[in-house]
Amino acid sequence: MPTQLPDTTTTDATARVVSLRSQYPDGLLGVPRSGLRLTWRAEAASAQVGYQLRWHDGATGTVVAEPVEGDRSIGVATPGPDLGPGEGRRYAVRIATAAGWSGWSEDLVVEGALEADELEAVPIGGSEPVEGPATLLRTSLTLPARPVRARLRATFWGVGDLRINGRRATDEHLAPGWTPYAERILLGTWDVTDLLQAGENAVGAVLGDGWYRGRLGWEDELEHYGSELAALVQLDVECADGTHVRVASSPEWTTSTGGIRFAGLYDGVDVDLSAEPEGWDSPGFDAEWPAARVVSVDTAVVEPRIDGGVRTIGEWDVTAEARAGRTFLDLGQNIAGWLRLTVRGRAGDRVVVRHAEVLEPDGSLHTAALRTARATDTYLLARDGETVLEPLLTFHGFQYADVEGAEVVGATAVAISSADRLRSTFACADPRLERLHSNVAWSQRDNFVSLPTDCPQRDERLGWTGDAQAFAPTASTLFDVESFWMSWLRDVELEQDADGAVAAVVPNILTRDEFPADGGAHSIMGRAGWADAATIVPWAVYESYGSTEVLERQLDSMRRWVASLERRADERGLLPTEFQFGDWLDPDAPGDRPWEAKVSADFVANAFFARSARLLADAERLVGDPGRAERADALADRVARDTWVEWGEAAVATQTGAAIALEFAIAPAAERERIGEALARNVRAEHGRIATGFLGTPLVLFALVHSGHVDEAYLMLLRQAPPSWLYQVEMGATTVWERWDALAPDGTIHSGEMATGDSSGMLSFNHYAYGAVVDWIYRHVAGIAPTVEQPGYRRVVVAPRPTASIPWARASVESRLGPVSIDWRLVDGDLGIDLRVPYGAEAVLDLPLTDASTVAIDGTTTDAAAPPILGPGVHRIVVSAARVADPAALVTA
């Protein structure tokens, strides 16, 4: 045992481990059997200097590992053998300080998955055609005694809903989600002990087209992955009398169809309630159904999931209002989800429920922006009186709905998301910023439905990589989505082509050279700012959560992406001129040509080339090869230098070009002050008008602040006139728009035209890309941020930048070490900050000082120019004569 650690028999009475978790969501069963990592929160009067792990399983009993020296507590690899099939293992940890050891933590129970070849189940299905009725599958089983432990394992080639004894078996929707099905399908595991009973039981599944073979993309294509749906289901039960019972999907199961006559993700459901077999998923059902068919699919691609799926995140009552023969519903919030309705009607009545995000000026639903997505649920009632209606195997993006065909007695909004674990809070003196924060959080919820999509409503809903990389830092702050990102990044890697190029959408259904722009059809593999998600997203996740796991998982993908850029480079060593999305949806681009931004697409492409090379170098230094790191750094230096020489001067005349040149270190150090001043001058002249698209918007406020222009950053942030963030708030938005000018001040809705003569449109009121500004809001309005030097808030940068119109703000982030929080207030020019730093972390102060400022920390005056690093605990910081931004003075001047 290292001598620096205290003797294992000594005790530190002040030390305790508060919680222990793995890298997976709490309660997730059936996790990968290798690669487990542990993270803990602790408290003590002095710093952690070591830790010790122990584990217990049924085979070996309790094993106590050797103590380990160090202060690590995030993403610590577990000792011992891999988990066995379905094995539950208990882990505990204790920490050491200089004074001694804490007690052991409470046990964390982790349960390993079964691999596909360890299942007895075989894939089965019915014979329904694509866009036909949903398939029902069922079987029965008898339990000789009370069940004491039961595990249901399942996946689908399609989307499925599981039933046991007439009840839904899980609280998830649209399982198993969307992945590149030919290479990865996710197996879920659920504890269903409480749904079973001694005696007769029934197991059922409802199976629909979903992403597997349903309509996807704007080309109306079907069967992207296969022509036959299948379910793979296995239930293992241990009974109180010691017996084990297994039921697994096989040709002995039976199949039929029910009330769901059609279910599509874009179009909604058609349900004939009179066709639903009563009690089909319950014991005692004795109808003669035909045997299920074994479906030939590749089960070798089935693997355990690492994230928790799509769940209900909110339900609330909605008031119904009669309008011109229809019932009108306003949810008050744009959501991804559906309506649960109680209606009163007669048998045979047809109830039609239509959905939309916004209203036309006359108050009717605006459906043109949905393009070909029907976004409509229909129901044929089976009986007179009241009936509860709720769709299955679909979802809608909407705030408004209308219903015809029956009286609406009650309505409930049901919102769904994979972002179900809120991580942060924010409040400030400006309610418009609070509303913006809420809008961004809702856009994340609504677009994190199995994967990070562009929009939840129209005939698209694809995993655009450009949107994802732009938003990754904000997404990782707002919600606990570390495992969500790692799951999607696995698909990013799977969808890279043989040369290493990264797809524009993941999973990738745009596999042809088919993107319409400039009169041609273009390949969109490896496009700048989109494909760079392969490097940018892993780095953002690492910085926010603090574990190197994401970098270790993605390092080969990052290498392949940068290598593909090197191979594409021309004789200059720079990327050739070719179609790029560029600074997509620059507000000054033609409405029907969103790729035609002010900044050169060649500059943007090569700047992102340099950025990805730099991030690869950083990742190599941490988890890879130091020699490769040096080569990647040299590549980044050269590409940045040559990009500046070739396009820099022209590029920095635009907001996006200046922001990229500054934030990606494309501009030489000697030019930074000049570029920052020119950018600030542009912002002042435009009274804060935003002139950036998808790639410039996440960077522009950072470029202003980092170049010393806080006033101009606030001038842009707080602008109300269009285009601006707060214009959307003033117009009543509850999510973030795709286009800055989606809605005119008079309520006129943008046409959304994508190309001349193209009526398909591109208009969404629920896109998160421009919501990337929330990352800046946490870092500089609230004033707390992680660092790459000690990520995951192990080192917190405290850098509030107060402004005259916002005299107070507060925020918190649930770091892996514990809550980081700040609460500051301006009073008579003095800035008072209450800061909480969790155990195991430290805070560095970057305070808004003037020449007259003094700084007191916890009642003691300190050197304002070099304040100390603060340790764990609650601290009171007072900055007298603080620097206060005054963007209004810029407008007056």
Strand 842-845 relative to strand 795-798: parallel, antiparallel, unpaired? parallel
Long-range contacts of 821-824 (CB under 8 A, 24+ apart): 821/784, 822/782, 822/783, 822/784, 822/798, 824/783, 824/800
Q: Would you state the structure tokens that stand for residue 355, as one six-digit string?
A: 């959905």
Helix axis angle, 533-545 relative to 465-478, nearest 10°? 0
Asked if 561 and 615 count as a contact pair (C-beta separation under 8 A), the reply is no
Cα–Cα distance for residue pair 191/27, rounded to 1 Å: 10
712 is catalytic: no
Q: Length of the chain in residues, anyone?
A: 893
DSSP letter assigned to residue 599: S
Give strand pairing partners of 826.
831
460 is catalytic: yes
Cα–Cα distance for residue pair 671/677, rounded to 1 Å: 10
Q: Is 186 helix (H, G, I), strand (E, B) or coil?
A: strand
Q: Would you state the structure tokens that stand for residue 530, as one six-digit string?
A: 């989109």
Q: Give me the residue label for tokens 């009108």.
A: 328
Which is catalytic among the residues 172, 303, 549, 738? Answer: 738
Asked if 764 and 774 count as a contact pair (C-beta separation under 8 A), the reply is no
Q: Give me the residue label for tokens 């806080």.
A: 710
Q: Give me the residue label for tokens 């399983």.
A: 57
Helices in 23-115 by DSSP H: which ranges?
none
Q: Would you state the structure tokens that stand for residue 18, as one six-digit string?
A: 């508060």
Backbone dihedral angles phi then psi of residue 773, each to the nearest 5 degrees: -60, -25
SS (H, E, C) 120-131: CCCCEECCCCCC
Which is catalytic among the residues 460, 482, 549, 712? Answer: 460
One-letter amino acid for residue 821 of the chain: S
Does the CA dihedral 162-168-174-176 come out positive or negative? negative
Give strand pairing partners of 326.
323
CA-wise closest residue to 854 among 882, 812, 874:
882
Q: How many CB atoms lie within 10 A of CB 731?
A: 15
Helices in 581-671 by DSSP H: which ranges?
601-623, 626-643, 649-651, 655-663
Strand 818-827 relative to strand 808-815: parallel, antiparallel, unpaired? antiparallel
Q: How crowded is the C-beta side of 261, counted as CA atoms within 13 Å?
A: 10
Number of H helices, E strands in the chain: 16, 46
Q: Is 44 helix (H, G, I), strand (E, B) or coil?
A: coil
Asked if 141 and 203 count as a contact pair (C-beta separation under 8 A), the reply is yes
C-alpha dist (Å) from residue 745 to 70, 433, 715, 770: 58, 20, 20, 19
Cα–Cα distance for residue pair 857/878, rounded to 1 Å: 7
CA-wise closest residue to 216 among 126, 130, 135:
130
User: In 405-529, where do the E strands start and end?
Assistant: 407-417, 424-428, 448-449, 451-452, 515-517, 520-522
Active-site residues, by number, are: 460, 738
